[in-house]
């Protein structure tokens, strides 16, 4: 496929990483993005954490690409001068009944090759995070934070410097086959290419379905609200403070995250979003809501998670965020926190209502569709790009 023409749909970090790698390999690359700027959705609304690979099933695509992705991302940021800081992470147990799960996390992290993993006691927690409490924790010193929008912009600069084209404000509707080429149909004309890579994020299932792929996995959007600590309280948190995951719930609970710009966030919760790209508290898109509410898969998921849904409703108030933060840092008070915005998770769901956990990449002829790229997809983005390009080379 040397010197092929390739279209990349989506200028989030996965699309940017894929486009940059293809450009580096000598291909003619065109990036289509419906927004007027890069990293406008999930990439620009995430926690900024470079995940080390603590939780993922050893041997899974997610585990392998995360470890490879950390290596590539760190090297790229050093080379290009993008902000990156290994601030470390504690997964903290507050109750005795969490210790078995905590030890399991440590075992899984070691199996995944995460460096420096250790289980620490309350005294050591205080040494690492002087204002935090807990009875034990998994310490991951290599977990880092980064400027993901900055990485994305830098990657797209690489595309342009390599002769590629960026088409912002050009929404892609579908990909069709014409002879040996694939046609990208877009609002501004599109074009024919030898290969097409669709990194559609929150719209990935819609583009895939219109292009002839299976409608599942389908995207169901979940929003997560964040609060921020006041500037004079950010010293209370040195790095990242996470809870021990509860297997009864599909999403991780409230945690404290130091951002690359010095802010500290508290959150998120997790609720069904009434808009795939709605980042305000009252966002509503009738088409998005209708698609979710008429999905049999969603109602299967809802029936299987009624208890979790009731528990999540209880986390809607500021008070619940404060209580979650105080589990880690008792000194935090309600007056120390303000609303800090919202992110939307493109959660892929199978036909039976189960949530798709691993990365999912589907190939149809010479078109590749990224169907599921949940966290830690940003961490893994450069490795996902390698994986996609390797798939394209399998002729």
Residue bearing tokens 């490879």: 68
Q: Does 224 share its domain with 212? A: no
* Distance separating alpha carbons of residues 181 and 385, to the nearest angstrom: 21
In a domain, 320, yes or no: yes
Residue bearing tokens 């500037």: 231
Q: Does 138 share its domain with 246? A: yes
Q: Does 180 share its domain with 235? A: no
- Half-sphere CA count of 377, side-chain side, radius 13 A: 29
pLDDT for position 346: 93
Q: Does 164 share its domain with 309? A: no
pTM of the model: 0.94
pLDDT for position 394: 59
* Distance separating alpha carbons of residues 148 and 155, to the nearest angstrom: 11
pLDDT in tens, 236-250: 999 999 999 887 666
Residue 291: give its domain's CATH number: 3.30.9.10
The tens place of each residue's pLDDT in the chain, 395 residues long, gives 568 999 999 999 999 999 999 999 999 999 999 999 999 999 999 989 999 999 999 999 999 999 999 999 999 999 999 999 999 999 999 999 999 999 999 999 999 999 999 999 999 999 999 999 999 999 999 999 999 999 999 999 999 999 999 999 999 999 999 999 999 999 999 999 999 999 999 999 999 999 999 999 999 999 989 999 999 999 999 999 999 988 766 667 789 999 999 999 998 888 889 999 999 988 999 999 999 999 999 999 888 876 655 455 555 678 889 999 999 999 999 999 999 999 999 999 999 999 998 899 999 999 999 999 988 999 999 999 999 998 776 55
* Residue (of 224, 243, 225) closest to 329 by Cα position: 243
3-state SS assignment for residue 219: strand
Looking at the structure of the chain, the number of domains it has is 2
Domain membership of residue 311 as a residue range? 85-143+218-349
Q: Does 240 share its domain with 315? A: yes
pLDDT for position 329: 97
Q: Does 236 share its domain with 301? A: yes
């Amino acid at each position: 496929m040397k010197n092929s023409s390739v279209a990349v749909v989506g200028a989030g970090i996965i699309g940017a990483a894929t486009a940059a790698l293809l450009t580096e390999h000598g291909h003619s690359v065109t990036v289509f993005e419906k927004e007027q700027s890069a990293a406008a959705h999930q990439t620009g609304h995430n926690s900024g954490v470079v995940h080390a690979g603590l939780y993922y099933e050893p041997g899974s695509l997610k585990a392998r690409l995360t470890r490879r992705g950390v290596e590539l991302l760190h090297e790229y940021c050093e080379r290009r001068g993008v902000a990156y800081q290994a601030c470390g992470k504690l997964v903290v147990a507050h109750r005795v009944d969490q210790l078995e799960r905590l030890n399991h996390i440590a075992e899984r992290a070691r199996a995944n090759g995460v460096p420096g993993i250790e289980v620490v006691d309350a005294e050591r927690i205080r040494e690492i995070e002087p204002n935090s409490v807990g009875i034990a924790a998994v310490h991951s010193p290599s977990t880092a934070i980064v400027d993901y929008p900055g990485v994305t912009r830098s990657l797209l600069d690489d595309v342009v410097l390599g002769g590629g084209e960026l088409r912002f404000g050009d929404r892609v509707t579908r990909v069709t086959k014409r002879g040996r080429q694939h046609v990208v149909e877009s609002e501004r004309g599109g074009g024919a290419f030898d290969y097409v890579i669709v990194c559609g994020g929150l719209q990935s299932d819609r583009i895939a379905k219109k292009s002839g792929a299976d409608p599942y996995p389908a995207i169901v959007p979940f929003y997560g609200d964040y609060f921020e600590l006041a500037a004079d309280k950010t010293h209370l948190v040195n790095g990242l403070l996470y809870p021990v995951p509860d297997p009864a719930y599909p999403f991780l609970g409230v945690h404290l995250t130091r951002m690359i710009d010095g802010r500290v966030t508290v959150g998120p919760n997790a609720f069904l979003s009434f808009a795939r790209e709605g980042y305000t508290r009252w966002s509503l898109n009738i088409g998005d809501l209708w698609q979710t509410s008429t999905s049999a898969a969603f109602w299967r998921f809802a029936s299987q998670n009624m208890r979790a849904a009731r528990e999540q409703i209880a986390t809607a108030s500021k008070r619940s965020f404060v209580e979650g933060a105080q589990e880690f840092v008792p000194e935090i008070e309600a007056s120390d926190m303000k609303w800090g915005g919202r992110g939307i998770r493109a959660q892929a769901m199978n036909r039976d209502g189960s949530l798709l956990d691993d990365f999912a990449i589907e190939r149809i002829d010479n078109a590749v569709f990224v169907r599921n790229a949940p966290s830690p997809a940003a961490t893994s983005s450069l490795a996902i790009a390698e994986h996609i390009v390797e798939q394209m080379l399998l002729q």
